[in-house]
Structure 1
């Protein structure tokens, strides 16, 4: 099997009108503002469904669901919407409200009409601008030490990467897995930026061994000055106009910084898959586009974690351990409130998986030591564990209702980035570059500097 040659170019009509993306953002913004009571919640702090009085039918449906089906519903967006939206519609009708719930399952494909980029590329193909056909066997060593699902993401990303005919800047490169495949398949020069020196050295050694046109620079993404700054930063700016900048799952402020630096440099083409929106330095989300800056939504880091609360990766054992950990944490939370006489949530640090193989009592003693909580000598740990399990049943249902809106919020965040690029003179298209079974973070923003 070979990687097939496909020579699609960015066209002047990538997206004839900017309005579809802007219009969809405005619709999502309205829905998210209307539904804040359902998704802008902290389940761990709740003692009851916080919105039950307003949405009683939804509450009844959630409590009627068997615990065993919750994970299955949670993993499949369309199934979740099908299960809960009829009850929500009944409650909205009773309140005399009308929300556009069709936005809960918006498709990226609906927003990329007018793009010249082929949306029907075969799953076995990778676009390449080079004429020789590269055999998959020749690329086998590229995937060494890369987990299978990550390699699927990398190959899918390159498959959907338009041939801009430009040298490539790989942002937050790690060992440069993405960049090396681009260098090999496209035959272009790749500059891979990474802040960890060891990863740069390992990536450069691989590139040199296989004679790839890939060069690494070790730099801190946040120490790079753009053209508008005072040039006091000690890191050289690797961005330029004649360039295609790419980033696969650069987290939070890292991919935002890429957008800002690329726009400042007038970088010709961008291909970005955002991730981990909550990893920001500010306490609240700072909108990029004019639309987001004028939105009434105020998003905390906790709110920004909502889109990430979908896992298709965890196996049955991992799910069971996760449920156990949550029940234990909630059980201790109830215990510490009682012991301290303070009715307030007390966050605990991350735990090792090995700690879950002990007893709940051991966990409570560890947690109490972490937070300087005095536990009674005759503490009935079994009773507190049962309370934790009951609270877990509650939090799972609060989360399930909130998860109705996780895709809408993620698309709101993605469209903020798209609209920012449009306002900065780029034509933009949006698509999914792989199935959610490979990664739920499968959005791909493609942008081309307008020549108009």
Structure 2
């Protein structure tokens, strides 16, 4: 990656995100109108011209979404005398010097048996990740390993030693059993990723190592960084602070190579995002956990039934929200706990009674639930359109987050490349950051 080009690219993206904050930094459930409609009347009219039946199709394809809304947004900006670089929405910046190198498809004896207990989509992600993993003949550390499926495939196909770090002891035990069955050079460390490198000592579950011979001492202490210089660290969909923790520990250790696919940026301990790179730290963007969910709001996996249930749930939640505002005489959104899918097979009245009990809201005996449900459906038409505009910027925000990670690695002496390791239809979280420590 070209460092100066990446910095300029980050600055361009950051400028547009700062300018467009009123359009994407919104909470659709908390408003009863398009919050920006006075400043963007053409965009507002364009949204209401879109039929309800077309919204999901537009939302699933970023290129179609941009094509549908960009002319109206451009017209509003022209009328207000504003100059935003909207080309960033239509042309994804080239954040890699070259496409990621893909090794030939992996074939080995008994591969079907090897992957029999792994769900098809997950196995497709794992194999695609390994196919794009550079071969450096280095031992591998698998971060947030779960049962170690990724590390096991690397050990099998690359013939390198793999250490898989996971905090749940049961998963470590199951993963170690799999590795022993296949006679692979893979061992597990059961550790809390957030306790490593601190003085916090043992976690509640303790820090142990699976697969040791009787009497063999674990080489890792509770707070010892398992990352070393001569190592390749890999992480497939480590969530939020977990992959950030890996980046920080790896740069401290000077780990030779990294391969990371970020996921769930909103799963952070702080209330707001803590930028990694010096460049991102200069930005005026203050990203809440809610904002950080924006890149994840694209579903290419949900089937028609799942989408219908999701729409039903949102309409019900918004219907109850209108009811609770009236009953409590407080005009603010009241969050509800997660629902079991079975609850959606009942009636809206049953749902309201459950929600009222959860939040201590008094429901009158003769409540017109049908009227409140209709109000919920009308509010859903609004929130879907608010979200549709915010989704114009979801890819842009994810590129901002990825570039922050890339710039951070470059500041620590790494050469970085970024690409997609699998098709969007396999998983929308398909970005792969590859980093190689420059020679000292």
Say whether 1:65 aligns with 2:46: no
Aligned equivalents of 1:413 and 1:85: distance in 2?
Answer: 23
Aligned equivalents of 2:335 and 2:200: distance in 1?
Answer: 41
Deviation of the 1:120 alpha carbon: 6.0
1:185 corresponds to: 157
Aligned equivalents of 1:166 and 1:244: distance in 2?
Answer: 6
Aligned equivalents of 2:92 and 2:16: distance in 1?
Answer: 16
2:20 corresponds to: 35
Change (3 A) 1:357 1:196: same
Instruction: Indicate the RMSD between aligned Cα atoms, in angstroms.
Output: 1.4
Local SS of the residue matching 1:60: helix
2:32 to 47, 50, 57: 47
1:435 to 423, 426, 432: 423
1:125 corresponds to: 105
Deviations 1:210-257 (A, max 9, x none): 1111111100000101xxx56867333211000000000000000000
Aligned equivalents of 1:205 and 1:230: distance in 2?
Answer: 31
TM-score of the superposition, structure 2-length normalised? 0.93
1:319 to 307, 310, 328: 307
Deviation of the 1:357 alpha carbon: 0.5
TM-score of the superposition, structure 1-length normalised? 0.91
Aligned equivalents of 1:245 and 1:62: distance in 2?
Answer: 45
CA contact (8 A) 2:100 2:421 kept: no
Say whether 1:86 aligns with 2:86: no
Local SS of the residue matching 1:355: helix
Local SS of the residue matching 1:155: helix
Say whether 1:219 aligns with 2:191: yes
Deviations 1:322-360 (A, max 9, x none): 000000000000000000111111000001000001100
Moved over 4 A (4+): 229-233
Aligned equivalents of 2:223 and 2:54: distance in 1?
Answer: 51
**1:75-114 alignment, distance < 5 Å:** 75-107=60-92, 110-113=94-97
CA contact (8 A) 1:253 1:281 kept: yes
CA contact (8 A) 1:271 1:447 kept: yes
Say whether 1:202 aligns with 2:174: yes
Judge which range, 140-149 or 248-257, deviates more.
Answer: 140-149
1:263 corresponds to: 251
Structure 1, unmatched stretches of 5+, are: 1-14, 127-133
Local SS of the residue matching 2:110: helix
Change (3 A) 1:173 1:31: same
Deviation of the 1:106 alpha carbon: 4.4
Structure 2, unmatched stretches of 5+, are: 203-221
Local SS of the residue matching 2:415: strand
Aligned length: 421
Deviations 1:104-128 (A, max 9, x none): 24436x2212x4xx64637x625xx
Local SS of the residue matching 1:264: helix
**1:230-245 alignment, distance < 5 Å:** 234-245=222-233
Say whether 1:407 aligns with 2:395: yes
Aligned equivalents of 2:113 and 2:233: distance in 1?
Answer: 25
Local SS of the residue matching 1:156: helix
Aligned equivalents of 1:18 and 1:348: distance in 2?
Answer: 45
Say whether 1:169 aligns with 2:157: no
Aligned equivalents of 2:438 and 2:260: distance in 1?
Answer: 17
Aligned equivalents of 1:231 and 1:280: distance in 2?
Answer: 19
2:335 corresponds to: 347
CA contact (8 A) 1:105 1:407 kept: no
1:297 corresponds to: 285
